[in-house]
Amino acid sequence: MTSKIIYEGKLRTRMTHLYSGTEVITDAPLDNQGLAQSFSPTDLVATALGSCMISIMGIKARAMEMDDALVGCEAEITKTMASDPRRISKITAVIKFPKNNFTEKVKTIFENAARTCPVAKSIHPDIEQDIIFEW
């Protein structure tokens, strides 16, 4: 088992990662009867994409003995919702790299790693993934 989720009422859940004990709270968003005092479940899906992309690029950087080159890399995530049925229609991820003299080859390696991360490959193909790399 990976995690345990408990419904706390008022459209809030408490999720526990069983291996580490780390907890995350979710709230429904304001536009869906919630309080928006924490990530919504769909926020987590969108945010997981950026986190996974950076993690996989970090694995590549480590393999190329460039582990510190990505320190400070950021992802800015924008989630777009659609209705009827309510769902994520688009995730925009702007990946901002720290100032570095990355070669074109290294940039291509990182971009390919990001685009093929497990979350990117797990998201339904109807969800548009707009990935922008800022070097």
The tens digit of pLDDT for each residue in 7-51 reads 999 999 999 999 999 999 999 999 999 999 999 999 999 999 999
CATH of domain 41-134: 3.30.300.20
Using alpha carbons only, give the angle 66, 70, 71 rounded to the nearest 5 degrees. Answer: 115
Q: Where in the chain is the domain with CATH 3.30.300.20?
A: 41-134
Q: Residue 6: which of 21, 31, 19, 24 has the closest Cα? A: 24
pLDDT at 67: 86
Strands (E), 10-55: 12-17, 23-27
Phi, psi of 129 (to 5 degrees): -110, 105
Residue range 87-135, pLDDT digits in tens: 999 999 999 999 999 999 999 999 999 999 999 999 999 999 999 999 9
CB contact at 8 A, 74 and 50: no
Residue range 68-91, pLDDT digits in tens: 999 999 999 999 999 999 999 999
pLDDT at 44: 98
pLDDT at 88: 98
